[in-house]
Amino acid sequence: MRLIVLIVFATLLFSQDAIIPIPQKVSYDKAKAALGKALFFDPTLSADGTVSCATCHSFAHGGADDKPVSIGVFGKKGRMNSPTVLNARYNFRQFWNGRAKDLAEQIDGPVHNPVEMGLSTEALVEKLSQNDYYRQTFAKLFGPGPITYKRYKEALVEFEKSLVTPNSKFDRFLRGEAKLSPIEMQGWHLFKMRGCITCHNGINLGGNSFQKIGSIMPYEGAPLDDRYTITKNPKDRYVYKVPTLRNVALTAPYFHDGSVATLKEAIQKMAYYNLGTLLSDHEVAALEAFLRTLTGEIPDAR
């Protein structure tokens, strides 16, 4: 009993500073971000001219995909659920298994992956160089000379740095500008008391550590592209970057394999797999109400 009390007390102390609001303004190069936005939404920059970054990262779905796995060029299916691009600037690594160290390195994956956009560096640069708008805009922003893959990535990164979602109800609550409803407040307390905050903390409520799905009860799905594929350490089976919970009400389906259809189900299963507990219906409803307060201002997709 004493150990349980100490754990709860430590969790409460930790939770006081564990989550901070997203800044209402962030710094980025607006001119380069405008070019990056055009690149992000342009499906011609793929092998068959049908897939853009926005295809798998829809702002209407919280910067993620509404399908369990995304459909790439020539109708090919991916293996993993597409994570949100919103607030990705705050992730300590990119991709579920953290194989990219930053936003610039992350771009290489979907561009070159034959089941996503399927372009070589040379093919991408050729497509950009044949477009009048891109030729003129790259020259204006970067100076004379040919369009390069490095400059393409630099513009995309600036756009992705702009994709933050401030002023969620919970952020406003943390700043003392709004009150949570009784059930939302219950959910916030449960989030801390049940231990969710142990992994989902920081500015992004996740995205800042690797954790195992099924740390208490074994996960029933396959260990797709987990940390083991990077480290070859057997202990890294089923270990993934903890996903952000910001805008989580918009990003269904859930989990690395896209196997969970609803937020309610995701709460129930994570409590079982990683906390070893079965939540009551009221606890699930309260946690869901709290998680819905994490939806911020979604960037303009136009």
Question: Annotated active-site positions, please?
Answer: 116
Element (H, E) at 240: strand 239-241
| 150, 72 Cβ separation under 8 angstroms | no
Helix (H, G, I), strand (E, B) or coil at 55: helix
> What is the phi/psi pair of residue 254, to 5°?
-115, 170
277, with CB counted inside 10 A (0-12, 13-18, 19+), is middle
* DSSP code per residue over 88-115: GGG-SSBSTT--BSSHHHHHHHHHH-TT
Taking the C-alpha atoms of residue 36 and residue 154, their distance in angstroms, rounded to an integer, is: 8
Distance between CA atoms of residues 238 and 181, nearest Å: 36
Which position has the token pair 């998680």? Answer: 291
Dist CA 37 CA 22 (whole Å): 21
DSSP of 114-153, one letter per residue? TTTT---HHHHHHHHHT-HHHHHHHHHHH-SS---HHHHH
- Residue-by-residue DSSP string for 200-237: S-TTTTSSS-EEETTSSS---S--TT-THHHH--GGGT
Please state, in angstroms and rounded to a whole number, the distance separating the CA atoms of residues 197 and 219.
Answer: 20
* Listed residue (73, 78, 66) closest to 52, CA to CA: 73
